[in-house]
Amino acid sequence: MSRGGGRGHVRVRTARGRTAQSTRWLERQLNDPYVRRAKAEGYRSRAAYKLTELDEKFGFLKGARRVVDLGVAPGGWTQVVRRVLPKAAVVGIDLLPVDPIEGATLLQMDFMDDAAPDKLIEALGGMPDLILSDMAANTVGHPQTDALRTMALVETAFDFALKTLAPGGDFVAKVFAGGADSALIAEMKRAFATVKHAKPPASRKGSVEWYVVAQGFKGRSEPASEPEQEQQ
Ligand SMILES: C[S@@+](CC[C@H](N)C(=O)[O-])C[C@H]1O[C@@H](n2cnc3c(N)ncnc32)[C@H](O)[C@@H]1O
């Protein structure tokens, strides 16, 4: 590793056993101001700043009392929520184990598992007023497949929001390639007062990652009552 290129830029020499791709990744990490800032400010991931920047723009954290963090590992978003909302109940879920975060309940399980919604609500102790999803499927390197797999996660997260969110609540989710598909967006627009897309500055320019921010959940309409049987 050497310093070159001015302004403290760190250059990484390709070492034996290190691929060109991992050398590029290491160099990018070492020169990323968000990675440095996360280290200095005690955040586990640079992703923490994506949530902070989205919140600066949309203000969904203010007033939230019960928060769900889908795809929580390694925990940057939940750390932000805990710092901004020290009194809120926070429950996170991930396939991966997450080191404890004071004041948060962390479940290690697949969100796509049928049992996950009940487990989340049980751990939260009531209806969430903010559902965050930074879930991303492991990429297979085939852009369409990767986008489809992430869309399936977004759709399931949106379905969870429709079933559990408190009226007036907000839903924030990572989507790929400029946005969610138009049918999903249309459904979101029916269910929320506003639906916007944003790419926070901390989201790398080269990545296809965007976020959809849906605010002001209109609530569930009461299930239609059974029509009365006509007496014969
Ligand atoms: C980009 S990371 C989240 C980073 C996190 N927001 C932070 O600030 O540290 C995406 C996470 O989604 C998780 N994930 C993907 N599919 C999942 C699923 N089906 N159930 C639960 N978590 C999932 C991955 O394991 C991964 O940890």
Q: State yes or no: is 174 an active-site residue.
A: yes
Phi and psi based region of residue 112 (left: phi greater than 0; alpha: psi -120 to 50; beta: remaining): alpha
Give pLDDT tens digits for 112-126. Answer: 999 999 999 999 999
Residue 222: the pLDDT is 62
pLDDT for residue 29: 73
Tokens of 218: 């209109």
Q: Which of 174, 189, 196, 218 is catalytic?
A: 174
Mean pLDDT estimate for the chain: 88
How close is the Cα of 70 to the center of ligand 1, in Å? 7
* Contact present, 111 and 71 (Cβ < 8 Å): yes
Domain regions of the chain by residue span = 9-38, 45-217
Q: Ligand 1: which atom is nearest the Cα of residue 75?
A: 9
- 154-202 tens-digit pLDDT: 999 999 999 999 999 999 999 986 556 788 999 999 999 999 999 999 9
Superfamily for the 45-217 domain = Vaccinia Virus protein VP39 (3.40.50.150)
CA 151 – CA 36 distance, rounded (Å): 31
DSSP label at residue 220? P
144: left (phi over 0), alpha (psi -120 to 50) or beta: alpha
Read off the pTM.
Answer: 0.87
pLDDT at 49: 97
* Ligand 1 atom, smallest distance to 112 CA: 19
Which residue minimizes the CA distance to atom 11 of ligand 1?
Answer: 71
pLDDT at position 23 is 77
71 Cβ closer than 6 Å to some ligand 1 atom: yes
Which amino acid is it at 62? K
Name the strand (E) or helix (H) holding 151.
helix 143-164
Question: Which stretches of the chain drop beneath a pLDDT of 70?
Answer: 1-8, 10, 12-17, 177-180, 222-232
Confidence (pLDDT) at 180: 62
Atom 24 of ligand 1: nearest residue by CA position:
71
Report the pLDDT value the prediction gives residue 5, as an integer from 0 to 100.
44
How is residue 133 written in tokens? 């999803």
Nearest-CA residue for ligand 1 atom 7 is: 76
